């Protein structure tokens, strides 16, 4: 029930709830490594055996954490499929506000999405079990999941909405930590919802430099073709990066250690420390090299853009093509998103609000340093919108993996997602 997150006196809470609160407190800051039951007991101020009287195992505890979030989400989304658009918008804004006010909950969600294949499908199962319908009609979870897997418009809509929610919530958190003047969570949530529902087309006036332009189907095909990367022209992977990707595949991001990477390479751990200070430094260095390659490719391609709409499309298609050649980097992008500080932007490794960033594209010089349309409640760099578009291909690829989609279906869904940026999900 949603009420379990409402403010109450700590003394009035049952021990079971206090344990859950303490478990979530470990996620106030992004992290992949899990807490131990000893750490949890110390945080609550009870013994470890006392925790097991309430939760038989850590797995049961983790399930209870997930159920708390899903219960709250179900309460907020109960009216999401109503035919009344304003009521649906209110539901979505309530969810955004909820995650802004509960950073540990969105950090939990992002960690699960980054590390577990098809987690979004798992989440939808739980929500439909709680009578949340995303289809605008009463539907059991089997019919919903069948539509989710086969209807590319629906599939893309969910990926777009979910990833956009994460992005704008984390953006708000980053700006708040930097002391920027931003609107209240409720006002900000409402403005974000307007952008998602109506898209750039209706949220900007025609004089805006980011106002969408009509792109013909023939021109879109030209842009897609422009972004294609021949297999024989793509640089070989760095051997350490390849070893890192192998360790992630076997142990997920939380299980990455310098020792395991060294074992994968067949070398001593001390040899890696000759090049890197620690694990995080190693991952950032390796990923930055890959991202630099992506930026080089995208910059060459975006030089062909005739307007901001084409620029955004070329960026997304270039990124999609890059990640199809380097699928190993996708879970690492999730680590970057979780990593806070200068790792906020999973697509480019850059802070999206830092207007002092080096300009990577000649085309971007045409954009002003600050825009106020679409309205987010404060002036911001156009990179906020560019980075938003940049995180979407990663999310799409993660969720499409394992769905056994044909190339035609895959590109159909990706095209729908791009259109949602410009035209909204209404």
Q: What is the DSSP letter of 135?
A: S
CATH 1.10.357 fits 204-384, yes or no: yes
Q: Tens digit of pLDDT for each residue in 28-57?
A: 877 666 788 999 999 999 999 999 999 999
| Phi/psi at 371 (5° precision) | -130, 160
Can you give the pLDDT at residue 354? 40
Percent of the chain with pLDDT over 70: 85
Residues 6+ apart with CB under 8 A from 245: 237, 328, 329, 332
Can you give the pLDDT at residue 349? 37
The domain locations on the chain are 204-384
**Bigger pLDDT: 117 or 316?**
316
Q: Tens digit of pLDDT for each residue in 157-203?
A: 988 998 999 999 999 998 988 888 889 999 999 999 999 999 999 99
Contact criterion met (CB below 8 Å) for 195 and 188: no
Q: In terms of DSSP H, where are the helices of 151-208?
A: 152-177, 185-203
Contact criterion met (CB below 8 Å) for 290 and 339: no
**How far, in Å, CA of 205 to CA of 197, rounded?**
16
Q: Tens digit of pLDDT for each residue in 75-112?
A: 999 888 777 899 999 999 999 999 999 999 988 887 78
Mean pLDDT is lowest, of 89-93, 287-291, 316-320, for: 287-291
Q: Hunting for tokens 């059991």 — which residue is that?
A: 140
Q: How far apart are the first and last CA of the chain?
A: 29
């Amino acid at each position: 029930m949603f009420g379990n997150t409402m403010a109450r006196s700590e003394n009035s809470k049952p021990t079971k709830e206090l344990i859950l609160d303490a478990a979530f407190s470990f996620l106030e800051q992004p992290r992949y490594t899990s807490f131990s039951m000893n750490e949890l007991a110390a945080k609550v101020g009870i013994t470890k055996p006392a925790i097991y009287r309430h939760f038989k195992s850590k797995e049961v505890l983790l399930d209870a954490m997930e159920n708390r979030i899903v219960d709250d989400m179900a309460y907020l989304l109960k009216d999401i499929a109503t035919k009344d658009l304003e009521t649906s918008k209110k539901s979505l804004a309530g969810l955004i506000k909820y995650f802004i006010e509960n950073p540990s909950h969105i950090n939990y969600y992002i960690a699960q999405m980054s590390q577990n294949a098809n987690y979004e499908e798992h989440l939808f199962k739980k929500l439909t079990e709680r009578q949340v319908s995303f289809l605008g009609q009463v539907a059991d979870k089997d019919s919903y999941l069948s539509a989710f897997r086969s209807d590319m418009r629906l599939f893309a809509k969910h990926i777009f909405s979910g990833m956009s929610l994460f992005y704008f919530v984390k953006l708000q958190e980053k700006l708040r930590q930097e002391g920027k003047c931003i609107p209240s969570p409720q006002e900000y949530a409402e403005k974000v919802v307007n952008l998602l529902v109506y898209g750039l087309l209706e949220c900007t006036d025609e004089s805006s430099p980011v106002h969408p332009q009509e792109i013909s189907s023939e021109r879109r095909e030209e842009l897609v073709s422009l972004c294609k990367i021949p297999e024989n022209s793509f640089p070989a992977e760095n051997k350490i990066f390849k070893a890192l990707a192998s360790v992630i595949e076997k142990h997920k991001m939380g299980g990455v250690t310098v020792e395991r990477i060294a074992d994968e390479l067949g070398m001593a751990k001390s040899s890696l420390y000759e090049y890197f200070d620690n694990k995080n430094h190693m991952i950032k260095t390796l990923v930055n090299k890959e991202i630099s390659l992506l930026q080089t490719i995208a910059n060459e391609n975006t030089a062909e853009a005739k307007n901001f709409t084409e620029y955004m499309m070329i960026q997304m298609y270039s990124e999609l093509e890059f990640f199809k050649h380097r699928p190993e980097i996708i879970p690492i992008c999730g680590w970057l998103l979780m990593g806070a500080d200068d790792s906020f932007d999973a697509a480019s490794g850059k802070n999206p609000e830092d207007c002092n960033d080096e300009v990577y594209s000649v085309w971007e010089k045409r954009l002003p340093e600050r825009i106020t349309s679409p309205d987010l409640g404060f002036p911001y760099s156009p990179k906020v919108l560019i980075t938003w578009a940049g995180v979407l291909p990663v999310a799409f690829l993660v969720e499409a993996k394992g769905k056994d989609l044909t190339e035609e279906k895959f590109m159909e869904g990706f095209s729908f997602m791009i259109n949602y940026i410009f035209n909204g999900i209404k």
